[in-house]
Structure formats: structure tokens, C-alpha cells
Structure 1
Amino acid sequence: MVDTTPLLGEPLALDLVNTRPLGADLLATTEQLADWLARQSERHPDLALDRPTAADLTAVHEVRDHITAALDALMHGTPPPADALRALTAAQSAAPATRRLHWDGTAVVATPHRDAPPAARLSAVLAEAAADLLTGPALARIKRCEADDCVLLFLPAHPKRRWCSPDRCGNRVRVARYYRKHKE
């Protein structure tokens, strides 16, 4: 059975890819997207969006597909598809961030701002997160969950971590191993 709660806490690009576990799409509706964005906006305030539209959902799906294609290729030791990289670059270009300067009472503060429709802003933020992940040192540490029926990706904080979540797959695998061992 697929857990329908999105796994959060990984880098943003991985959290997005992980919204499509085996056999499900956890961002199939605008309501699910609104919930995911609300949860993510605690860590990524630039993702706050009250009422996502179908256009926003389509834009997020497109970015997710391109990130997935690039990560799948890289994790298999092959170059990422050029069209995926071009699409992620285009998404960033459609809503570039401008740092607006203002005085907060004690210091000058720079706040990123994007002048674009919500779908373009969402795509740009997610594509930038993908660019950071795909070009950073963390890329080499990404692992796929070792549970047989899980495809989620994660960055292990500990080198011995084997599952996307100890509460999800880790516990399920340990319980199955216990029952196999005691059934013999």
C-alpha cells in the first residue's frame, strides 16, 4: 500500500520528485498541491501560494518530470537528457529573481522577488532547487530507498541509512524480516 502523505525534509527538488511514489501521484489535484506547498512554505517561503490553479499544477508536474529524468540518468551513470536541462533552465529564466533591498530598522535586507504569474514563479523556484541539487556535491550522495516496493530518493545524514524513512519503509522491512526469521 502506498503512503499518501508526502515525505518532506529532503532538499526541495527531492521532495518534489518523491511526490510520485510507486503507483501514485501525491500531487494529482490542485488541493494536494496546495497542501504540499503549504507544508514546504515553512522551509521555502517563496513557495507560498493560497489557491493553486490547474496551470500551476501542470507547471509543477513538468518541472518534476524534468528533475526526475535528470536524476534517473545521473543515478544510472549516464548524462541527463539535454531537453530536461533546457526545460529546467527555461523555467528559471521565465521568472528570474530580483533582490529587492529595504531597511528593516537595523540593516539592509535583500528579499527575492519574481515578477511573473504564479505558475512561472513556482516553476522557477523548483527549477532553481533542481539546479542547486544537480550541480552540488550532494548529488553524489543521493540514494534510492532499499525497500522493494519504494522508489523514493533521499540524502542520508548517516552513511548507514538505507530507507527513505525509518518509520515508513525501515519499520516495514524490519517487521517483514522478523516474521521471515521466526516463521522458519
Structure 2
Amino acid sequence: MLALDFVNTLTAEEDRLPQWLAEQGLPWSEAVLELRGHVEAAVLAARDGDEPDLAPVNAALRGAPAYEVLSWSGSVVRTQERQGDEVSRALAVLAGAAADLLTSPAVLKVKTCEGPGCRLLFVPAHPRRRWCDPATCGNRVRVARYYQRHKD
């Protein structure tokens, strides 16, 4: 999910937002950085059944309104384009991804990783999943438990 990937660019160790934006073909700006915090707060509030502050997400959506364009490619194809400058379009795309998640039943399933020091969000494929990545965070927890059981 693009919205969770966006939020998860801030880990406990580093901020990967500039690299992630470059990989997505989106420009970096302070406004994008601010939007990430607003999206994270909105997702966590909606997950917990609290009313999120949607004003920043709505403002980003209004900054580059979408419109549909028809073209011909052997048949009529409908695509969506956005008005506005490059940063406004990027904000609108990211806010749109957040809107998709916030209006989806999946927002109620969003979990915060239980790994020590991890702050990543994820939607578990299985309801008992506790870690963002069983191979990293999950393995660290299992190894720590094993060590504690066998250290004496």
C-alpha cells in the first residue's frame, strides 16, 4: 500500500523519504515531509476509531485536482491526470493513496510492529502477525527470547 510505504520511510534508524521519493519519481519538499506526519497521524487515529485530522490530506488533494483524459490506443482508454506544479501533483498522489487507505476497511487492520525499537506500520496477512517483517523484527524477538531462556 502506497500510503503505508510513504509513512514507513521514517524508521527508528533513518529517514528514507528522499530516496523513496526518487524511486517513485516524485520530488522532495518540506510539504511532502509534513504530509507524511499528517498521514501517519490520520491512519493511527482512524485505526483506533478516533476522528483523524483530515484537513491536511484534503488540502493536498485540492492542490492538484484530478481530471480524466480519454485517448485512443486501439480502443478508448481513460487515464487520470492532475493539474498543478510538480510538488502539488506529488502531494495529491500521496494524499490520494492515504484517502484510499483511510476509506478502506483495511485501515482498521493496520498494526504497529511489536519489534523493539521498530515503528513501522503494516496490514497483516494473518491476524496473529505481530511484526512488520518476520525475517527481521520477528527474528530479533525470537533470538532474544532464545538467548534469555538459555543464558544460564
The aligned counterpart of 2:83 is: 115
Residues 85-116 of structure 1: per-residue CA shift (max 9 Å, x gap): 111111111111112111112x2111211121
Structure 2 residue 5 is the aligned partner of structure 1 residue 15? yes
The aligned counterpart of 2:106 is: 138
Residues 122-158 of structure 1: per-residue CA shift (max 9 Å, x gap): 1000101111111110011111101121111100111
Could you state the TM-score of these two structures normalised by the residue count of structure 1?
Answer: 0.76
Conservation of the 8 A alpha-carbon contact between 2:61 and 2:96: yes
Cα distance change, pair 75–23 in 1 and its aligned pair in 2 (3 A):
farther
C-alpha distance in 1, partners of 2:124/2:44? 18
Unmatched 5+ stretches in structure 1: 1-10, 28-32, 42-47
The aligned counterpart of 1:64 is: 36
Amino acid paired to 1:91: A
- Residue of 9, 12, 20 corresponding to 1:36: 20
- Residue of 22, 25, 31 corresponding to 2:15: 25
Unmatched 5+ stretches in structure 2: none
How many residues are treated as equivalent by the alignment? 152
C-alpha distance in 2, partners of 1:69/1:125? 18
C-alpha distance in 2, partners of 1:98/1:75? 30
Conservation of the 8 A alpha-carbon contact between 2:112 and 2:120: yes
Could you state the TM-score of these two structures normalised by the residue count of structure 2?
Answer: 0.90
Kindly indicate whether structure 1 or structure 2 has the higher relative contact order, using CA contacts under 8 Å at least 6 residues apart: 2
- Cα shift at 1:36: 1.1
Q: Could you say what secondary structure the match of 1:132 adopts? A: helix
Amino acid paired to 1:171: N
Conservation of the 8 A alpha-carbon contact between 2:113 and 2:130: yes
Conservation of the 8 A alpha-carbon contact between 1:100 and 1:113: yes
- Cα shift at 1:76: 4.0
Structure 2 residue 66 is the aligned partner of structure 1 residue 97? yes
Conservation of the 8 A alpha-carbon contact between 1:59 and 1:120: no
Identical counterparts, % of pairs = 53
C-alpha distance in 1, partners of 2:103/2:83? 26
C-alpha distance in 1, partners of 2:57/2:32? 11
Conservation of the 8 A alpha-carbon contact between 1:59 and 1:122: no
